[in-house]
Structure 1
Amino acid sequence: MSDTLDPRRCALLTINVQNDFTRNDSLHAMPGTDELVPVMGSVVDGFRALRLPIVHMVRLYHADGSNAEITRRSLIAAGMPVVRPGTEGSEVRSELQPPDGFLLDHEALLEGKAQPVAAREWVMYKPRWGAFYETGLAGHLHGLDVDTVAVIGTNFPNCPRTTIYEASERDFHVVVVSDAISRIYPRGLDECAGIGARVSTSDRLLEWLRAAR
C-alpha cells in the first residue's frame, strides 16, 4: 500500500451484499459471490474493530420498476421480485452485520437518508450502478474526514467498477480489495490500477490499517 495514503482516513464501502444478489439459493444471485461473503465479512469486521467508517450501499426496487435503471425496469415491472423493499432478499447479508444485527429502514433509505446501524456504520440506498450517483455519499464521507475508500461487494463488472471510477472522479483515493469482490478478473484490476486505484488483498489491506494503530 502506498505511503502517501493515510489509513486513519479510510472508509469501507460494501456494494450490494444483499441476500437476493449473493445467496446461492436466490434466483438472482451473482455467480461466485456466496463463496466470497466470508472474506467480505472479515474485512467488515476488521474495519469495525478499528472503528473506521463503514457504509453499506444497497439497491431497492419498487414492485412497479419505477426506480430501476432502464435496462431492468420492464423486468421488475413484469414481476421479477428482486431486492424489493420489505423482503428478506433486500436485507444485507448477516455475515456483514454487527453483532446486534439490523433491518433496513426502507422508507428512510429511499428518501435518501443514511441509516445508522452501529457506531460509525451506516446503510445508504443507491439508485443506479455507482454508489455516488445521486446519493449523499460523497458529502457523508467528507463529513467524516475520509479521503480513501476501500471497495468490496457484488459483481465487479457493474456496481463495484462504476463505484471505483466515480470515487476516483471525486478525488477519493481508492483501494480495490481483489479477493472480496465477486466476478472480478485480471484485466479489470489492471484497468482500475490504470486510473490510480490501489489493488490489495483483504489481508494486506487489514495489515496496513492495523499498522497505523
Structure 2
Amino acid sequence: MTGSTAQQADYASAGYGHHLVPGDRPALLLVDPAQAYTDPACPLYAGVEEEVAAMGVLLSAARTAGIPVVVTRVDIRPDGADAGVFFRKVPALAAFTTGSPFARYIDGLAPRADEHEVVKQYPSAFFGTGLAEHLHTLGVDTLLIAGLSTSGCVRASAVDAMQHGFVPLVVADAVGDRDEDVHRANLFDLSHKVGEVWSLDRALELLGTPVA
C-alpha cells in the first residue's frame, strides 16, 4: 500500500502487515454514500466523484454476484443529543440531521428494499447497530468495504469489522477523503494493522466480475 520504501521496510521489520486471506462468504459494506460529500454547497464536500463512480461499479458487481449488501447512513437528531461527544467535536455533522438534503443517498447508491440498511449516529457501522449479529447470522466472514470517508467512518468500520472477526478488505479506489495525504496515510495504516487494502479490479475479480 502507499508509503515510502523506508516506511514499508520499517513496518515490515516491526512485524506489521501480515496478509489476511479472505474467506468464502463475503459481503459488501458501503459506508455513508451521502450527498454531503458530493454537493459543493455542503461544508463536508470532498471532491470524491471518481471514488463515488467506483462505488457504483462495486455495488453493481456485488448485486450481480448475489452477496449480501449493507449500506449505512447517518441520521442525527436536530439537537445532536443522540450523537453525543461526536456531534460536539464535529459541528459539521449538522449536515446529517434529520431532514437535511445533504444526508440523502448519492443517486444510484441507495440500498434496495431487499438489502440491509444501517442507520447510525457514530463513525463505525457496528457501534450500537446490531450489524455484527446480522452478518454473523448470514455466515459472512469477509467484508468488502467502500464509502466515505477514509479517515472517519470507513476506518472506524474497518477496525470494528476486524474486532468482530470479519476480514476487512478496504477497496482503495472506492473510498475517499477530503485530503489526499490523509486518505493515503489511513490506507497505509489500515493495510498494516487492520486488514487488506485492495484495488477495485482485485475486488471485482473476487466477485467474479470480468475486469476490462
TM-score, normalized by the shorter chain, greater than 0.5: yes
For 1:179, the equivalent position in structure 2 comes to 173
- Say if 2:176 and 2:183, in contact at 8 Å, map to a contact too: no
Residue 73 of structure 1 pairs with residue 73 of structure 2: no
Q: Deviations over 1:20-46 (max 9, x none)?
A: 2x2233323342323321111111111
Residue 51 of structure 1 pairs with residue 46 of structure 2: no
- Say if 2:80 and 2:97, in contact at 8 Å, map to a contact too: no
Alignment equivalent of 2:29, drawn from 10, 13, 20: 13
Moved more, 82-91 or 162-171: 82-91
Residue 153 of structure 1 pairs with residue 147 of structure 2: yes
For 1:197, the equivalent position in structure 2 comes to 195
Q: TM-score, normalised by structure 2?
A: 0.78
Deviation at 1:72, TM superposition (A): 2.5
Deviation at 1:182, TM superposition (A): 0.6
SS at match of 2:51: helix
For 2:102, the equivalent position in structure 1 comes to 89
Cα distance in 1, alignment partners of residues 20 and 32 from structure 2: 30
For 1:128, the equivalent position in structure 2 comes to 122
Q: How high is the sequence identity, in percent, across the aligned residues?
A: 27
* 5+ residue gaps, structure 2: 1-18
Deviation at 1:160, TM superposition (A): 0.6
For 1:118, the equivalent position in structure 2 comes to 113
Runs of 4+ in 1 over 4 A off after TM superposition: none
Q: How many residue pairs align between the two structures?
A: 187
Q: Which has the higher helix share?
A: 2
Q: CA distance change for structure 1 residues 25 and 10 in 2, over 3 Å: closer, same or farther?
A: same
